[in-house]
A and B are shown apart, each in its own frame.
Chain A
Amino acid sequence: QSALTQPASVSGSPGQSITISCTGTSSDVGTYNLVSWYQQHPGKAPELMIYEDTRRPSGVSNRFSGSKSGNTASLTISGLQAEDEADYYCYSYAGISARVFGGGTRLTVL
């Protein structure tokens, strides 16, 4: 059960859009439509931003969107704001007895 692969860091300027990828395998991301994304600010618990690959919980800004193609899921943040600077993690269901996180991506808003 290997961690999903995410870029270590991404950056963007306010107002721009960025995309964070999350690459798994046919045993997790590629088989189940059950990838979720979490935002974590320093010293805080993670917060759910996207679930079921593309769905957004109520209360989460529509600037956050999710997509998936094959074994790779992606999180896109449009109209970057300073408050978006945080760590982002993907998480995938990998069968009844398995779950796996991505390694995390640090987003810097320039």
Chain B
Amino acid sequence: QVRLQESGPGLVSPSETLSLTCTVSSGSVIGDNYYWTWIRQSPGKGLEWIGCIYYNGGTNFNPSLKSRVTMSVDTSKNQFSLTLTSVTAADTAMYFCAREAGSTAELDYWGQGTLVTVSS
């Protein structure tokens, strides 16, 4: 059973950079056909796809966030990370990491989520 766990600061100041890491256990980020994905959910709102990264570093991002998003993967630590720059209150959300099956595009494993609040 693959497990994912998000980690990172729960509070970020406006205009600063949000950084989160997802640690994968009982599975490998080097898996041949998976996209490692970040999703967020603003309080009381729906799910928003932020983007995904392949184990070789290839990325795809939501066009609405593309200018502020970076993702990376660390195969030695079995982790992948999200960086979101110039945050505002609108970036306050629960952030989930998940695994997307490459050929069938379903999000089959999810982390429990981590709440990030943007506030001074």
Complex Cα gap A6–B74 (Å): 37
* Chain A residues, Cβ within 8 Å of B96: 45-46
* Chain A residues, Cβ within 8 Å of B2: none
Number of interface residues of B (CB under 8 A): 24
The proximity string for A residues 59-85 relative to B, scoring 1 for CB distances below 8 Å and 0 otherwise, is 000000000000000000000000000
Are A99 and B104 also in contact (CB < 8 A) when A1-B62, A45-B110 are? no
The contact size tier of chain A is 20 to 34
Out of B62, B105, B110, B111, which one reaches A93, CB within 8 Å?
B105
6 smallest A-B Cβ distances: which pairs?
Answer: A51-B106, A93-B105, A104-B46, A36-B106, A97-B60, A45-B110
Which residues of A does B touch, CB under 8 Å?
Answer: 1, 3, 32, 34, 36, 38, 40, 44-48, 51-52, 57, 89, 91-93, 96-104
